[in-house]
Amino acid sequence: MHNEERTVTYILNRLVSVDYPFDRIEIIPINDHSVDKTGEVLDYYAARYPQIKPLHRSAGERGKAGWTE
């Protein structure tokens, strides 16, 4: 996600409302160099839902090309 402050809440609300056991699901949203409040929203949800484990990228290039691992 890059600068998805306006949509991230909707997306996460839908993901945490799925009919699936919370202990069998892991949600890893990637904050890719956002300069808006996307990271704050992800952290807010992660504090309330242990199955949400955000990854914040702030170094390297944005997007798939920036992944070297």
What is residue 14's predicted lDDT score, i.e. its pLDDT? 95
Domain borders along the chain are 8-61
Angle value at C-alpha 26, between 24 and 31, nearest 5 degrees:
175
Structure confidence by residue, pLDDT tens digits, 31-57: 988 899 999 999 999 999 999 999 998
Report residue 10: phi and psi, to 5°.
-60, -45
* DSSP state string for the chain: --S-TTTHHHHHHHHHTSSS-GGG--B--EEES--SSHHHHHHHHHHH-TTB--EEE-SS-SSGGG---
What is residue 58's predicted lDDT score, i.e. its pLDDT? 75
Q: Are 55 and 30 in contact (CB under 8 A)?
A: yes
